[in-house]
Amino acid sequence: MEYRKVKDQESYDDLSLKDVESLSGRSLSSANASATGLSSAGGAKGKSSWKLKSVVTLALTLLTSSQAILIVWSKRAGKYEYSVITANFSVEALKCLLSLAALFRTWNHHGVTDDNRLTTSFDEVSVYPIPAILYMVKNLLQYYIFAYVDAPAYQILKNLNIISTGVLYRIILKKKLSEIQWAAFILLCAGCTTAQLNPSSDHVLQTPIQGWMMAIVMALLSGFAGVYTEAIIKKRPSRNINVQNFWLYIFGVIFNLVAICVQDYDAVMTKGFFHGYSFITVLMIVNHALSGIAVSMVMKYADNIVKVYSTSVAMLLTAVVSVFLFNFHLSLAFFLGSTVVSVSVYLHSVGKLQPQK
Amino acid sequence: MEYRKVKDQESYDDLSLKDVESLSGRSLSSANASATGLSSAGGAKGKSSWKLKSVVTLALTLLTSSQAILIVWSKRAGKYEYSVITANFSVEALKCLLSLAALFRTWNHHGVTDDNRLTTSFDEVSVYPIPAILYMVKNLLQYYIFAYVDAPAYQILKNLNIISTGVLYRIILKKKLSEIQWAAFILLCAGCTTAQLNPSSDHVLQTPIQGWMMAIVMALLSGFAGVYTEAIIKKRPSRNINVQNFWLYIFGVIFNLVAICVQDYDAVMTKGFFHGYSFITVLMIVNHALSGIAVSMVMKYADNIVKVYSTSVAMLLTAVVSVFLFNFHLSLAFFLGSTVVSVSVYLHSVGKLQPQK
Q: Give me the mean pLDDT over the A340-344 stretch.
A: 96
Q: Helix, strand or coil for residue B341?
A: helix
Q: Give me the mean pLDDT over the B314-333 stretch.
A: 87
- Distance CA(A130)–CA(A252), nearest Å, equals 10
Query: Would you say residue A28 has pLDDT above 60?
Result: no
- pLDDT tens sequence across B175-228: 888 999 999 999 999 999 999 888 778 878 888 898 899 999 989 988 888 898
pLDDT at B43: 54
Query: Would you say residue B2 has pLDDT above 60?
Result: no
- Distance CA(B89)–CA(A73), nearest Å, equals 63
Residues 6+ apart with CB under 8 A from A223: A161, A164, A165, A166, A167, A168, A169, A304
Q: State the maximum Cα–Cα separation within chain A, in Å, rounded to a whole number.
A: 65
Q: Where are the domains of chain A?
A: 2-353
Q: Check if the beta carbon of residue B15 is closer than 8 Å to that of residue B131.
A: yes
- Distance CA(A108)–CA(A79), nearest Å, equals 42
Q: Which residue of B has its CA nearest to A189?
A: B336
Chain B residues touching residue A212 (CB < 8 angstroms) = none
Nearest CA among A8, A347, A337, A350 for reference residue A159: A337
pLDDT at A35: 39
Chain B residues touching residue A201 (CB < 8 angstroms) = 332-333
Instruction: Read off the pLDDT band of A353 (50, 70, 90).
Output: low
- Distance CA(A314)–CA(A326), nearest Å, equals 17
Query: Would you say residue A29 has pLDDT above 50?
Result: no
Would you call B336 and A193 a contact, using CB atoms and an 8 Å cutoff?
A: yes
- pLDDT tens sequence across A187-211: 999 999 999 888 778 878 888 898 8
pLDDT at B108: 92
Of A275 and A99, the one with more pLDDT? A99
Residues 6+ apart with CB under 8 A from B302: B53, B56, B57
Structure letter (DSSP) for residue A323: H
pLDDT at B66: 85
Q: What's chain A's length in residues?
A: 357
As to burial, measured by CB atoms within 10 angstroms (0-12 exposed, 13-18 middle, 19+ buried), residue B299 is buried
pLDDT at A15: 31
- The mean pLDDT value of chain A amounts to 80
As to burial, measured by CB atoms within 10 angstroms (0-12 exposed, 13-18 middle, 19+ buried), residue A298 is buried
Q: State whether ipTM is beyond 0.90.
A: no
Q: Give me the mean pLDDT over the A35-58 stretch.
A: 66
Instruction: Read off the pLDDT band of B79 (50, 70, 90).
Output: low
Highest mean pLDDT among A272-276, B182-186, B263-267: B182-186
Runs of H (alpha helix) within B111-159? 122-125, 130-145, 151-157
Q: Give me the mean pLDDT over the A228-234 stretch.
A: 90
Q: Give me the mean pLDDT over the B94-99 stretch.
A: 95
Chain B residues touching residue A179 (CB < 8 angstroms) = 350
Query: Would you say residue A267 has pLDDT above 50?
Result: yes
pLDDT at A194: 94
Q: Is B346 on the interface with A (CB under 8 A)?
A: yes
Of A94 and A315, the one with more pLDDT? A94
Question: Could you tell me how far CA A227 lies from the centroid of its own chain?
Answer: 11
- pLDDT tens sequence across B106-146: 999 988 888 888 877 888 888 888 876 776 677 667 777 87
Residues 6+ apart with CB under 8 A from B68: B314, B315, B318
- The mean pLDDT value of chain B amounts to 80
Nearest CA among A203, A150, A169, A193 for reference residue A315: A193
Chain A residues touching residue B332 (CB < 8 angstroms) = 156, 193, 197, 201-202, 204-205
pLDDT at A50: 82
Among A152-166, B13-27, B105-119, B190-204, name the one with the lowest average pLDDT. Answer: B13-27
- Distance CA(A67)–CA(A70), nearest Å, equals 5
- Distance CA(A58)–CA(A274), nearest Å, equals 32
pLDDT at A18: 32
Instruction: Read off the pLDDT band of A308 (50, 70, 90).
Output: very high
- Distance CA(B161)–CA(B151), nearest Å, equals 16
Question: Rounded to whole angstroms, what are the CA distances from B191 to B58, B252, B304?
Answer: 20, 33, 18
Q: Check if the beta carbon of residue A241 is closer than 8 Å to that of residue A124.
A: no
CB count, 10 Å around CB of A26? 8
pLDDT at A31: 39
Element counts in chain B: helices (H) and strands (E): 15, 0
Q: Which residue of A has its CA nearest to B344?
A: A183
Q: State the maximum Cα–Cα separation within chain B, in Å, rounded to a whole number.
A: 65
Query: Would you say residue B82 has pLDDT above 80?
Result: no
Q: Is A345 on the interface with B (CB under 8 A)?
A: no
Q: Is B52 on the interface with A (CB under 8 A)?
A: no
Of A228 and B28, the one with more pLDDT? A228
Runs of H (alpha helix) within chain A? 2-13, 25-39, 43-77, 84-110, 122-125, 130-145, 151-157, 160-172, 179-195, 209-234, 241-259, 265-271, 279-301, 304-326, 332-353
Question: Could you tell me how far CA A107 lies from the centroid of its own chain?
Answer: 28
Query: Would you say residue B35 has pLDDT above 60?
Result: no
Strands (E), B159-264: none
- Distance CA(A351)–CA(B354), nearest Å, equals 11
Q: Check if the beta carbon of residue B218 is closer than 8 Å to that of residue B145.
A: yes
pLDDT at A187: 96
How many CA within 13 A on the CB side of residue B302?
23
Q: Give me the mean pLDDT over the A43-62 stretch.
A: 82
Q: Which residue of A has its CA nearest to B201?
A: A332
Tell me the percentage of chain B whose pLDDT exceeds 90.
Answer: 29
Of A139 and A263, the one with more pLDDT? A263
